[in-house]
Each structure stands twice: as structure tokens, then as C-alpha cells.
């Protein structure tokens, strides 16, 4: 890691006189590039594999993107050593980890980039006000995400499933040499957490005999919240409160884009009727595990829910924005749809009877071809880049935190 001179404030380990002030002089420096709260949460699963290694100093930086609101608070809760983006691009790091693509070409470090959600499902947004001159690629697998000025930006492209490697070979053949199939940390966590389902239900105060309906919304105008904001209020008023509990999980970009006060204000009527709204800093994975039914949209949580054994229904689904060859496209072909003019109680009562267990299991199997192996694969990859011998102890698969517990 190169330490630059200059007069502006910076964290102690990257000061030119760092040796005078630091307690330990690390052998390697790793930069964690946080594009938004979602990517930050994803990267914690990777960077935590360095815990206990006194040879490595980890730094965090906030990439220049639209959804940076909440990132500073996220990093503050971590107690992270943060480097301003303008300084981070001027420092040589031994490795950078990212779960987004914006700005990565500016870094002076080999970059491992991973998906910030469940695989690669969404198509690159269509240009506003202009005509398409080429087919829309899949976000994270398209050349416009991976290539800058004829150069492949990531040193390693982390994939969750072998079929993603085949899709990458079609969309961006020059990137295949950098791809590694390592698995999915959220999938592994969900599977490990299923044995603790009763604890998550207790933490959420789900009464014995109550059916827990978890409603998930991604961000954007085509999301559940964007298209059908009245759905949550209808559920909380039409479903008998003694028999049903409704919990909402909103994408962190919803909170970042509109602010916590506004999100709660929009959902005030549903909250008064008993809706449980999970804040973005809580671990959503335990909430999914606790569900008896998940109602979602085209976001990653709908796909991850197939790993929990709960039936998944879709309230909205913008087909034009999803790669039909993706696992999410597969899910949409059979998942029941919520009809907004029909009784919520009648529809949700029927879903368990229509639970197509084998179909959900098939889709869940498409999330990762390395189940339970992300921690080991990722740690091996990180230490290979750092040119250090990995610790002997085998990394453990983490279980989800209880709702309300700090992550």
C-alpha cells in the first residue's frame, strides 16, 4: 500500500507519518468500496473473513453514486476506518473489494467485484429519451459494467453459479478469464439460519398459530412500493390480526432515496394497523427465514426467499427489465400473482395449497452452484490476491442476526 503526502486530514494509517502514530504496521491494505448500504452489507460477509489477521489493515470508502445517503451512518456504526473517495483513488492498495461497478476504473488496486444481490437478473436500464442502439445487457455481466477504454476493470469477477459463467461467456467473452464461481453468502446464511426459525419468530413477536406474511420491495418506479403502495395498508386491514402478522422489508435505496421519515409517513396508516417495518440496518435474512409466505417483486429478496421453504408470490413484475434466462425470470413463470382488486385474505389463504415446492427448490438451486462454500472460496481468493498464507482455522458460515440486533 502506497502512502501519499499532503496536508488534508486523513486516517492515521494512510498519513505520511503513519509509523509515528499507528499501533501496528500492517503488511497489506485492503479497500472496501461501498456504493450504497446494500453493497456495504454484502461486503461485510467478505471482509469479515479477514477478522483476526493482524497482518491486514482494512479501509472503507464511499463510491460516488446516487444512493450514498445512509452510507456514512452505516460505516460509522461499523467503526470503520474511512478514506474519502478523492484520496482513495490516489492511494495504491493491495486489494479492493466492491459490490458495484461505478468508479472502479479509477482505483489503483486489483479489484474483486461481486454481485450486491442474488446473482445477475436485471437488465441494464434503457436510456431515457433515446433509442436503443444495442441489446440491453444483464447488469454485472455486460461489457459496459466491466470494460473501460478497452481494459477489463476487475481483476476478479465473483459469480455465484456456474451457469452465470456461461452467460458471461455470451455477453462479455473477454471477461471470462477473470471470473471465479465462489457461491453466495446470503444463500449460505439463509440455509444455516433455518434451524433457528423459532428464534426469529420470537424476536418478531409472531404468536403461535399466526401466519407471518413478509412483504419485500426493491427500489424504483416498477417496484412493489412504486406501483402498489396501497398493498401494505390493504393487507393490514383485510387480514385478521389474530391470525396474520405483516412485516415489510424495503430496499435500502428506498430509505436512502426518500429518507426514513418519509418512508414511515407513507406507510403510517399500515403502521397504525400493525405493520412491522424493518429498518435498513437490521439483518433481513432472519426475517425471511421466519416467513410463512413472502410477497415480493423483481428484487433479490423474492429470489432468496425460495431458499427458505416459504411460498413466494409476486405483487409486481416488470418483465421488460428482467433477463428471462435468469433465476428470477424462472421464478416469475410459475409464482402466483397477487391480484390487487381481489380479496387479500382469499388470495393469501390459497397460496399454501398452491405451493409448488419442487419448482421453488429448482429456482433456489440456481442461486448458487457452491452451496455452503462461499466463506472458504472467498477467503482463499482474498489471500491469493494478498499473497499471504491464509489462517489455518476453517471459516464458519454465519447465521442471521436477530431482528433489532446490530449487524
Condensed to tens digits (0 to 9), the pLDDT of residues 160-204 reads: 999 999 989 998 999 999 999 999 999 999 999 999 999 999 999
Q: Clarify whether residues 246 and 340 are in a common domain.
A: yes
Q: Does some domain include residue 12?
A: no
When pLDDT is averaged across residues 364-368 and rounded to a whole number, the result is 96
Q: Clarify whether residues 267 and 297 are in a common domain.
A: yes
Condensed to tens digits (0 to 9), the pLDDT of residues 344-360 reads: 999 999 998 778 899 99
Enter the DSSP assignment of 308: T
Q: Clarify whether residues 236 and 357 are in a common domain.
A: yes
Please give the pLDDT value at position 2. 56
Condensed to tens digits (0 to 9), the pLDDT of residues 91-112 reads: 999 999 999 999 999 999 999 9
Answer yes or no: is pLDDT of 15 > 90: no
Q: Does some domain include residue 396?
A: no
Q: Clarify whether residues 124 and 222 are in a common domain.
A: no
Q: Which residue has the cell 452451496?
A: 371
Q: Clarify whether residues 175 and 72 are in a common domain.
A: yes
- Whole-number Cα distances in Å, 55 to 58, 355, 389: 10, 50, 11
Answer yes or no: is pLDDT of 51 > 90: yes
How far is it, in rounded angstroms, from Cα 123 to Cα 121? 7
Q: Clarify whether residues 180 and 212 are in a common domain.
A: no
Q: Could you tell me what percent of the chain has a pLDDT over 70? A: 89
Answer yes or no: is pLDDT of 131 > 70: no
CB atoms inside a 10 Å sphere around CB 115: 22
Answer yes or no: is pLDDT of 16 > 70: no
Each as own residue / partner, the long-range contacts of residues 48-54 (CB below 8 Å, 24 or more positions apart, any chain) are 48/398, 49/375, 49/378, 49/379, 49/382, 49/395, 50/382, 52/391, 53/388, 53/391, 54/24, 54/26
Answer yes or no: is pLDDT of 67 > 90: no
Torsion angle in degrees (nearest 10) through CA of 138, 33, 76, 30:
140
Q: Phi and psi of 69, rounded to 5°?
A: -60, 130
> Please, are residues 145 and 332 in contact by the beta-carbon 8 Å criterion?
no
Answer yes or no: is pLDDT of 156 > 50: yes
Q: State the CATH number of the domain containing residue 263.
A: 3.40.50.2000
Q: Clarify whether residues 220 and 324 are in a common domain.
A: yes
Q: Give the DSSP H or E segment for 97.
A: strand 95-98
Q: Clarify whether residues 246 and 153 are in a common domain.
A: no
As a whole number of Å, the end-to-end CA separation of the chain is 29
How far is it, in rounded angstroms, from Cα 192 to Cα 167? 29
Q: Clarify whether residues 360 and 235 are in a common domain.
A: yes
How many domains in the chain? Answer: 2
Q: Clarify whether residues 171 and 44 are in a common domain.
A: yes
Condensed to tens digits (0 to 9), the pLDDT of residues 277-330 reads: 999 989 999 999 999 999 999 999 999 999 998 999 999 999 888 888 889 999
Q: Does some domain include residue 22?
A: no
Q: Does some domain include residue 19?
A: no
> Please, are residues 118 and 300 in contact by the beta-carbon 8 Å criterion?
yes
Q: Clarify whether residues 114 and 215 are in a common domain.
A: no
Q: Does some domain include residue 265?
A: yes
Please give the pLDDT value at position 277. 97
Residues 6 or more apart in contact with residue 398 via CB below 8 angstroms = 45, 48, 189, 192
Residues 6 or more apart in contact with residue 175 via CB below 8 angstroms = 141, 143, 146, 147, 152, 154, 157, 168
Q: What is the Cα 254 distance to its own chain's centre? A: 14
Across the chain, mean pLDDT equals: 89
When pLDDT is averaged across residues 44-71 and rounded to a whole number, the result is 91
Question: Could you tell me which residue, 3 or 337, shows the higher pLDDT?
Answer: 337
Q: Does some domain include residue 234?
A: yes
Answer yes or no: is pLDDT of 68 > 90: no
Q: Clarify whether residues 62 and 200 are in a common domain.
A: no
Q: Does some domain include residue 175?
A: yes
Q: Could you list the residue range(s) of the whole structural domain that residue 56 is in?
A: 27-186+370-386
When pLDDT is averaged across residues 37-46 and rounded to a whole number, the result is 92
How far is it, in rounded angstroms, from Cα 188 to Cα 365? 12
When pLDDT is averaged across residues 73-79 and rounded to a whole number, the result is 91
Residues 6 or more apart in contact with residue 13 via CB below 8 angstroms = 22, 26, 29, 57, 59, 81
How far is it, in rounded angstroms, from Cα 194 to Cα 308? 7
Please give the pLDDT value at position 325. 84
User: In 172-223, where does DSSP find H-type helix?
Assistant: 185-193, 197-203
pLDDT-derived band at 6, boundaries 50, 70, 90: very low
Nearest C-alpha neighbor of 38 from the set 87, 96, 99, 108: 99
Answer yes or no: is pLDDT of 140 > 80: no
User: In 89-184, where does DSSP find H-type helix?
Assistant: 143-146, 162-171
Q: 79-89: buried (b, 16+ CB within 10 Å) or exposed (e) per residue?
A: ebbbbebebbb
Please give the pLDDT value at position 405. 62
Answer yes or no: is pLDDT of 129 > 50: yes
pLDDT-derived band at 5, boundaries 50, 70, 90: very low
Q: Does some domain include residue 61?
A: yes
pLDDT-derived band at 377, boundaries 50, 70, 90: very high
Answer yes or no: is pLDDT of 7 > 70: no
Amino acid at each position: 500500500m502506497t502512502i501519499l503526502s499532503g496536508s488534508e486530514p486523513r486516517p492515521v494509517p494512510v498519513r505520511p507519518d503513519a509509523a509515528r502514530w499507528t499501533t501496528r504496521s500492517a503488511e497489506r491494505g485492503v479497500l472496501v468500496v461501498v456504493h450504497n448500504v446494500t453493497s456495504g452489507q454484502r461486503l461485510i460477509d467478505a471482509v469479515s473473513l479477514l477478522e483476526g489477521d493482524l497482518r491486514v489493515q482494512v479501509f472503507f470508502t464511499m463510491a460516488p453514486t446516487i444512493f450514498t445517503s445512509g452510507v456514512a451512518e452505516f460505516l460509522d456504526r461499523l467503526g470503520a476506518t474511512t478514506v474519502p473517495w478523492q484520496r482513495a483513488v490516489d492511494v495504491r492498495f493491495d486489494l479492493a473489494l466492491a459490490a458495484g461497478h461505478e468508479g472502479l476504473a479509477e482505483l489503483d488496486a486489483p479489484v474483486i467485484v461481486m454481485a450486491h444481490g442474488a446473482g445477475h437478473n436485471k437488465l441494464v436500464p434503457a436510456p431515457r429519451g433515446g433509442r436503443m442502439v444495442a441489446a440491453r445487457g444483464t447488469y454485472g455481466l455486460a461489457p459496459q459494467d466491466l470494460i473501460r477504454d478497452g481494459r477489463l476493470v476487475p481483476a476478479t469477477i465473483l459469480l455465484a453459479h456456474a451457469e452465470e459463467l456461461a452467460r458471461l461467456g455470451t455477453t462479455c467473452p473477454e471477461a471470462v478469464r477473470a471470473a471465479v464461481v465462489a457461491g453466495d453468502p446470503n444463500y449460505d446464511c439463509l440455509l444455516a439460519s433455518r434451524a433457528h426459525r423459532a428464534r426469529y419468530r420470537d424476536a418478531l413477536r409472531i404468536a403461535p398459530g399466526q401466519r407471518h406474511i413478509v412483504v419485500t420491495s426493491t427500489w424504483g418506479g416498477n417496484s412493489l412500493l412504486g406501483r402498489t403502495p396501497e398493498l401494505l395498508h390493504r393487507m393490514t386491514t383485510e387480514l385478521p390480526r389474530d391470525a396474520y402478522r405483516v412485516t415489510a422489508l424495503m430496499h435500502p435505496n428506498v430509505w436512502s432515496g426518500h429518507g426514513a421519515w418519509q418512508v414511515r409517513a407513507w406507510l403510517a396508516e399500515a403502521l397504525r394497523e400493525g405493520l412491522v417495518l424493518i429498518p435498513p440496518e437490521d439483518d433481513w435474512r432472519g426475517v425471511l427465514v421466519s416467513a410463512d409466505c413472502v410477497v415480493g417483486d423483481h428484487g433479490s429478496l423474492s429470489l432468496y426467499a425460495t431458499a427458505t421453504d416459504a411460498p413466494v408470490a409476486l405483487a409486481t413484475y416488470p418483465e421488460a427489465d428482467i433477463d428471462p434466462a435468469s433465476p428470477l425470470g424462472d421464478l416469475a413463470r410459475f409464482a402466483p400473482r397477487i391480484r390487487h382488486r381481489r380479496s387479500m385474505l382469499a388470495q393469501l389463504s390459497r397460496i399454501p395449497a398452491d405451493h409448488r415446492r419442487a419448482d421453488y427448490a429448482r429456482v433456489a438451486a440456481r442461486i448458487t452452484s457452491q452451496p455452503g462454500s462461499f466463506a472458504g472460496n472467498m477467503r482463499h481468493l482474498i489471500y491469493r490476491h494478498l499473497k499471504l498464507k491464509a489462517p489455518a482455522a476453517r471459516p464458519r458460515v454465519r447465521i442471521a442476526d436477530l431482528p433489532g440486533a446490530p449487524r
